[in-house]
Amino acid sequence: MAAEVTIDMTKTFSGRAPIQAHLRYEIKASTVLILFGPSGSGKTTILRSVAGLEWPEEGRIQFLSRTWLDTKSGIRVSPQDRQIGYMPQDYALFPTYSVAGNIAYGLGALASEDRNKRVAEVVELFQLQGLEAAKPRELSGGQQQRVALARAVAPRPQLLLLDEPLSALDAPTRLQLRGELRSLLKQLALPSIIVTHDWSEALTLGDVMAVMGRGLVHQVGKPHEVFSRPANAEVARIVGVETVVQGEVIEQADGLSTVTVNGTKLKGLSSNAIGAPVYVCIRAEDVVVEPSGSGMTSARNHLLGRVTDIAPQGVMVQVTIDCGFLLTATITRGAVEDLCLVSGSSVIAAIKAGAVHLVPRSG
């Protein structure tokens, strides 16, 4: 039997629409499932149900060969017996415990010598040396995040559950810890489920992604495939990035990176090293479509392309342009008429460098 996780559940808070998930995915050593969606869509409820902190009124949750919940046969495994590392969104560190005390919290079953040894190991793994005796309030946001993660990982869980692990951090720290978290998860070879509403985190960290909106899972797939091929308009609206293609950084100058995508060069803002594999992410609303042969604008990128598809969507029209890769633009119906756009029209797609987002991906 393939190593699988099944989450099949319905949880209803009184007076609200039910939160439902029906998903099953295969896991390898360090597979990361991303639960992605806007605030209020039910991500935390599903994560807490997997942790055993929330009891769905109906469903089955299975991790590998172990059934944690099966309402039909009355199986309800307690959170303590699930061997899970759970990190809530606010970290919930114990304010009166030291860093070492927080990390040792889940190690009560060990003899004190083994416990101290494990705390020392984890302190080193998370680069918290020298902070063992500090209290949470004396730490920076990034350090608190590391302690919370260290506490979740210390008891050697089988599955790690992280609720918006980076959302409490300022932008530069978030960017740094995003990269560190990715290598750490690979190093620990520990499967995890990560909740986020940040698409760059989903792309960097995720192997599988479930898109949630208003209590329902709308699509499950590889993150870059879900972003570039949303199953329906609801998913497209939730993920909000229509073009996600693989590229490589070939040049860095003046704070701008030049990337190639299938031979087409684009400029974007990033600090990725030359040679770094990246996802090039562009929102359709950030693409300006101009007739080919028109004058220059302030946009850094002018890509010559051919229209391959024109799809009306309400008052707007989604235009797909082949410029070496398929690029999606959202423009008004009026613009389509003014430019006399038809399938096959030659156009220029203009994109400001600031709207070309480069997100690291593993090579």
The answer to the question of residue 13 lying near ligand ADP (CB under 6 A) is: yes
CA distance 251 to 299: 18
In angstroms, what is the minimal distance from the CB of 37 to ligand ADP? Answer: 6
Single out the residue of 20, 31, 41, 44 in contact with Mg ion (rule: CB under 5 A).
44
In angstroms, what is the minimal distance from the CB of 45 to ligand ADP? Answer: 3
In angstroms, what is the minimal distance from the CB of 163 to ligand ADP? Answer: 7
Of residues 46 and 287, the one with the C-beta less far from ligand ADP: 46
- Letters for 330-359 (x = contact with ligand ADP by CB under 6 A, - = none) are ------------------------------
Single out the residue of 6, 41, 192, 320 in contact with ligand ADP (rule: CB under 6 A).
41
In angstroms, what is the minimal distance from the CB of 44 to ligand ADP? Answer: 3
- For helices 112-125 and 141-153, the axis angle rounded to 10 degrees is 140
CA distance 251 to 69: 52
Give the neighbor-by-neighbor strand order of the sheet with 58-63. 19-26, 4-11, 58-63, 66-70, 75-76
Contact 330, 309 (CB under 8 A): no
CA distance 325 to 65: 42
By a kind-dependent CB cut-off of 5 to 8 A, residue 16 interacts, out of ligand ADP, Mg ion, none, with ligand ADP
Strands 216-221 and 288-291: unpaired
Single out the residue of 42, 157, 213, 230 in contact with ligand ADP (rule: CB under 6 A).
42
The answer to the question of residue 37 lying near ligand ADP (CB under 6 A) is: yes
The answer to the question of residue 40 lying near ligand ADP (CB under 6 A) is: yes
Other C-beta atoms lying within 10 Å of the C-beta of residue 2? 9
In angstroms, what is the minimal distance from the CB of 237 to Mg ion? Answer: 19
DSSP classification of residue 294: P
Query: Which region among 39-47, 113-121, 182-190, 284-292 touches Mg ion (by CB under 5 A)?
Result: 39-47
Of residues 100 and 211, the one with the C-beta less far from Mg ion: 211
| Alpha-carbon distance values, 2 to 190, 194, 237 (Å) | 17, 22, 33
By a kind-dependent CB cut-off of 5 to 8 A, residue 37 interacts, out of Mg ion, ligand ADP, none, with ligand ADP
What is the longest distance spanned by two Cα atoms in the chain?
77
CA distance 285 to 283: 5
By a kind-dependent CB cut-off of 5 to 8 A, residue 42 interacts, out of Mg ion, ligand ADP, none, with ligand ADP
Interface positions with Mg ion (CB under 5 A): 44
